[in-house]
Structure 1
Amino acid sequence: LSRFALFTTYFIHICFAFFLLLLQRQNNIVTHFIIGGFDTLSRPTAVGVAILITYLLAVLANMANIMFIISDKRLHKPMYLLICNLAVVDIVYTSSCSPTMIGVLLAGVNTISYVECLIQMCVFTLGTSMESFVLAFMALDRFIAIIYPFQYHSYLTNTRVVVLTFILWFVNWCFMCYMPATVVPLPHCSSRLKYSFCDFAAIIRTTCVNPEKYFNEAAIIMFFILFFTFVFICLTYCGILLFVKLSSNNEKKKIGSTLVSHLICVIVHYCPAFVRIIFTRFGVVLTLEERQGLVIGAVLGPCLVNPFVYCLRTKEIKQKLFKIFKRHHCDRFLKSL
């Protein structure tokens, strides 16, 4: 496991070295970008405050879930390791663009350097794809837990979950490398971004080339990721539903309660993603404001919903949270005496 982690670290360093080499060789005169996606907003401060509050809640809730799982050895189980990994992905995902949007709306800082913009694009793309793969992995976990409950701990051990998690991050780093490798060699005719932060579509529109070819290539990659993971999740649910038909009423209630949390997270992630990435490639026309709203919702929605869903619907985490609040109130009561 340590060798695999070391290999992954070396690979990431090589990718960044290659990335910096490309930056040094490119001859663009663009040194920074101007973010113009919020220029048409009538109340930017209100939107900025809403994004700030949502971002802080999402980060704090995900960090709380991570701390609960790490601090309690009883929660060092495959399912909770997956919840912890999802929380890490959510923090990375929402932190890739939320601070930039908050800076534009509340502080008026609407410029970003070329290198920072490319890094933001890469991290945002990594978070988008990782969210899909992690939800698919969690669907597999629930499938094994429901269909093969007695063999669950032999099929999914902590070591296997950690190794598969490293593999997922490694695969997604490979997908992410397409973005800077495509963007860096292209000449730029504008330094003004049409959207609210640095994503692939926003940067491509500043180049001097026809963007449709690159949009189609990116859409194919994202369609593969979304379609593969979504179909995989649907197949696991079909297998579970077939198993449910043969189960008793009590078992059906337990299985339904187990799946609700994951189903909510799947719906919140895939609905805006399919509309924004897939449907627009098949003729669905969105206005700039509609696209902006979908992008912001696709980032902040899952990152805020996921930790609260698993915190409120996972028995062990909920009990631990209740104990902490109970202990806090007891301490305050004793101090008041």
Structure 2
Amino acid sequence: MNLTDSNITFILSAYGPPGPLNYGVFLLMLALYLATVFSNLTLMLVISSDSSLHKPMYIFLFNLAINGLMGSSAVCPAIMQYLLVGLKTISFKNCLMQMFFINVYGSCAYAILTVMAYDRYVCICKPLQYHTIMTPTKVRLLLSVVYIFPVCLFTVQVCLTSRLPMCKYTMYKLFCDNLTLVSLACVKTALDNLFGLWLFFLFAVLPLLSVVLSYIKILTVSFKASGNAQAKALKTCAPHLITFINFSSAILFSVVYHRFNDYVTNEINALMSVHYILIPPLLHPLIYGMKTHEIKKSFTKILRKNIFAINLSFGRPNNMVFSFLLVKT
């Protein structure tokens, strides 16, 4: 099938008809989405405006915030729109595009968290060599790998899925995903299955093993150190570890959602699917904002500076008015 001349439209049947329940869910999602955008933009502003935070750890965190905004914006506005309209339809092209951005969001987030674990490993296990290992060139190289590989490989997946002939056009989902699209096809090729399994290993299993290995080495070094060093290491790694566990649980919920959605209620289906897209991008900046001393310090400094500037602007007489009064007198 040639995607460019395809007019296929799918129906998303997981939404109920417009009514009080849908309107309530819409308001809740709107509040959560706005909170997600605000928290991530605030974190990005704090990191970019404070030169003391221009370090590898915070550069990776800045990119994690960008990725979170991309993932939530790829799905949440569409879900909110579907909650308010009668017939929930999506074209094949838009479905593939939505699937692409969701997959890139998830794989990039896991890759960034893996790179952050490596950064913590170098910081704690090789502190004297940290600045020679985590150079600006090395940071740029790691970020390039984080983005280029998912974009290229999921582009291939979209091309493979777009060639499948479709026999069914109704999906009981809130948004599009590759497994659902493949299940709607008239035929299923071994290439699609093998490529999907390879992507899962590359972007889910391999990062998980890398993070676990990094923390095993960190714990090994920490146990041999003094009590103060152990406490410092734990404080340094706690935000990342909490964030990683949060995102891993979201991925687990997503797997359950895709594999067992026929055996659970509609409400649980909706909760598990939205959890993967909305909750991690909302919690990641909040976790780092509350658990990282440097970010809290920078945020407080920026807040005080702006409040002080506002107070000065209100307390100072307007120059034009002041000059006018002088002329009059």
Is the TM value for this pair above 0.5? yes
The answer to whether 1:114 aligns with 2:114 is no
Amino acid at match of 2:110: S
2-structure distance, mates of 1:315, 1:104 = 41
- In structure 2, relative to structure 1, the CA distance for the partners of 1:206 and 1:106 (3 Å cut) is same
2-structure distance, mates of 1:99, 1:304 = 15
Match 1:187 to one of 158, 165, 187: 165
Structure-2 residue corresponding to 1:162:
140
Structure-2 residue corresponding to 1:266:
244
Amino acid at match of 1:263: L
Structure-2 residue corresponding to 1:3:
none
Structure-1 residue corresponding to 2:199:
221
Structure-1 residue corresponding to 2:298:
320
Question: Would the aligned equivalents of 2:40 and 2:65 in 1 still touch at CA under 8 Å?
Answer: yes
2-structure distance, mates of 1:120, 1:275 = 19
- In structure 2, relative to structure 1, the CA distance for the partners of 1:155 and 1:108 (3 Å cut) is farther
The answer to whether 1:23 aligns with 2:29 is no
Structure-2 residue corresponding to 1:59:
37
The answer to whether 1:71 aligns with 2:44 is no
Question: Would the aligned equivalents of 2:7 and 2:91 in 1 still touch at CA under 8 Å?
Answer: no
Amino acid at match of 2:47: I
Question: Would the aligned equivalents of 1:205 and 1:211 in 2 still touch at CA under 8 Å?
Answer: no
Question: Would the aligned equivalents of 1:37 and 1:197 in 2 still touch at CA under 8 Å?
Answer: no
Structure-2 residue corresponding to 1:149:
127
Tell which deviates more after alignment, 321-330 or 44-53.
Answer: 321-330
Amino acid at match of 2:212: C
Structure-1 residue corresponding to 2:14:
37
Tell which deviates more after alignment, 85-94 or 182-191.
Answer: 182-191
Q: TM-score, normalised by structure 1?
A: 0.83
- Quick check: which has more Rg, 1 or 2? 2
Match 1:130 to one of 97, 101, 108: 108
- In structure 2, relative to structure 1, the CA distance for the partners of 1:254 and 1:93 (3 Å cut) is same
Please report how far the alpha carbon of residue 176 of structure 1 lies from its aligned counterpart in structure 2 after TM superposition: 0.6
Please report how far the alpha carbon of residue 182 of structure 1 lies from its aligned counterpart in structure 2 after TM superposition: 2.4
Structure-2 residue corresponding to 1:8:
none
Report the secondary structure of 2:128's partner residue: coil
Report the secondary structure of 1:34's partner residue: strand
Please report how far the alpha carbon of residue 225 of structure 1 lies from its aligned counterpart in structure 2 after TM superposition: 2.2
Task: Give matches, 1:74-89, under 5 Å.
Answer: 74-89=52-67
Question: Would the aligned equivalents of 1:139 and 1:233 in 2 still touch at CA under 8 Å?
Answer: yes
Please report how far the alpha carbon of residue 79 of structure 1 lies from its aligned counterpart in structure 2 after TM superposition: 1.1
Structure-2 residue corresponding to 1:95:
73
Please report how far the alpha carbon of residue 190 of structure 1 lies from its aligned counterpart in structure 2 after TM superposition: 3.2
Tell which deviates more after alignment, 218-227 or 256-265.
Answer: 218-227
Question: Would the aligned equivalents of 1:65 and 1:87 in 2 still touch at CA under 8 Å?
Answer: yes
Please report how far the alpha carbon of residue 171 of structure 1 lies from its aligned counterpart in structure 2 after TM superposition: 1.0
Question: Would the aligned equivalents of 2:257 and 2:272 in 1 still touch at CA under 8 Å?
Answer: no
Structure 1: segments with no counterpart, 5+ residues: 1-20
- In structure 2, relative to structure 1, the CA distance for the partners of 1:279 and 1:50 (3 Å cut) is closer
1-structure distance, mates of 2:73, 2:88 = 17
Please report how far the alpha carbon of residue 251 of structure 1 lies from its aligned counterpart in structure 2 after TM superposition: 1.0
Please report how far the alpha carbon of residue 211 of structure 1 lies from its aligned counterpart in structure 2 after TM superposition: 9.3
Amino acid at match of 1:115: K
- Sequence identity of aligned pairs in percent? 27
Structure-2 residue corresponding to 1:46:
24
2-structure distance, mates of 1:313, 1:81 = 17
Question: Would the aligned equivalents of 2:65 and 2:285 in 1 still touch at CA under 8 Å?
Answer: yes
2-structure distance, mates of 1:201, 1:39 = 23
Please report how far the alpha carbon of residue 235 of structure 1 lies from its aligned counterpart in structure 2 after TM superposition: 0.5
2-structure distance, mates of 1:166, 1:336 = 48
RMSD across aligned C-alpha pairs, in angstroms? 2.8
Q: TM-score, normalised by structure 2?
A: 0.85
Report the secondary structure of 2:11's partner residue: strand
2-structure distance, mates of 1:251, 1:84 = 27
1-structure distance, mates of 2:278, 2:189 = 27
Question: Would the aligned equivalents of 1:201 and 1:215 in 2 still touch at CA under 8 Å?
Answer: no
What does the per-residue CA deviation read over 1:18-58, in whole Å, with 9 as the maximum and x for residues that have no partner?
A: xxx9522x6x451x332222228982222222222111111
Tell which deviates more after alignment, 150-159 or 325-334.
Answer: 325-334
2-structure distance, mates of 1:108, 1:68 = 42
The answer to whether 1:207 aligns with 2:185 is yes
Tell which deviates more after alignment, 222-231 or 76-85.
Answer: 222-231
